[in-house]
Homo-oligomer: A and B are copies of this chain.
Amino acid sequence: MSAFLDSLKWDNSGLVVAIAQHVDTGEVLMQAFSDRAAVSETLQTGRLATFYSRSRSGRWCKGETSGHYIKASARRAGCCMYMDCDRDSLVYLAEPIGPACHTNAPTCFFTQLDASGGEVRQAGDHHSREHAPMITLYALERTIAQRRAETEAGTNAGIKPSWTAKLLANPELLCKKVREEAAELCQTLEESEGKERAASEAADLIYHAMVLLNAQGVSLEDVSKVLRSRFGTSGVEEKASRPPNPQT
């Protein structure tokens, strides 16, 4: 451990950059700094992300005051910590317990910038993820949720309803589409339709399955957690393959 700690490229204040990332959604939750003691503690306990507080000049176990810990050992096997090529930056792949930000926002990065440096966020509400950096799949989920909210609030009255709104209003159509898209995806393999077609049909299936999940109040993060809980040392797919009942 000490040889490893010696090998890190500490800055003039004895710190390295530490980035906490959500293991399921991929959100960058917060960026802080870690000193030798914090890196050592996070690695050895493998439980809670610990940093160095520059404002208080001391150890800072995120969540110790608020209860909003960042669980570092988000996976059963292996550690959560990753180092960059020049040894001065760490990623903690982690599971946040509650909001990661002291403002109660899910991530500290709740402000999007426009081309002129304007700040884009919900006025007076930085608790939502509306302008947080979400990767494509989760951004799609957010868009689906927005369409639903617009429909429920009636703010789209008079406007031609979106396909998402139509699907949400018609569970029969929605289920029909999910079954159809699954069949079309299978067909790309059965009929050797090529990679492009396979990617396109998978996109169709994932989109429609996500609308179906939204209709039931289930998030992609929930699904991701199920997949993660099935992880084992022998690999996720062993568990994923075990059906809840023999007919599955």
Contact = CB atoms under 8 A, between A and B. Distances in A.
A114 to B, nearest CB: 5
B113 A43 contact: yes
B136 A200 contact: no
A241 interface: yes
B235 A180 contact: no
A243 interface: yes
Nearest to A138: B26
Given A4-B117, A162-B238, A108 B79 contact: no
Interface in A84-120: 84-86, 89, 91, 93, 101-103, 105, 108-120
Given A120-B78, A164-B237, A215-B189, A223 B199 contact: yes
Given A108-B85, A135-B26, A215-B189, A237 B163 contact: yes
Contact of A30 (B31, B84, B132, B241): B84
A72 B109 CA distance: 17
B218 A198 contact: yes
A189 B207 contact: no
Nearest to A113: B81
B84 A31 contact: yes
Interface residues of A, number: 116
A184 B248 contact: yes
B91 A133 contact: yes
Interface string A198-223: 11101111110101110111100011
A240 interface: yes
A223 B135 CA distance: 13
B5 A19 contact: no
A238 B156 CA distance: 14
Interface in A17-62: 17, 19, 21-26, 28, 30-31, 40, 43-44, 46
Interface of A: 1-5, 17, 19, 21-26, 28, 30-31, 40, 43-44, 46, 75, 78-79, 81-86, 89, 91, 93, 101-103, 105, 108-120, 126, 131-133, 135-137, 139-140, 143-144, 146-147, 162-164, 171, 174-175, 178-186, 188-190, 195, 198-200, 202-207, 209, 211-213, 215-218, 222-228, 230-231, 235-238, 240-241, 243-244, 248
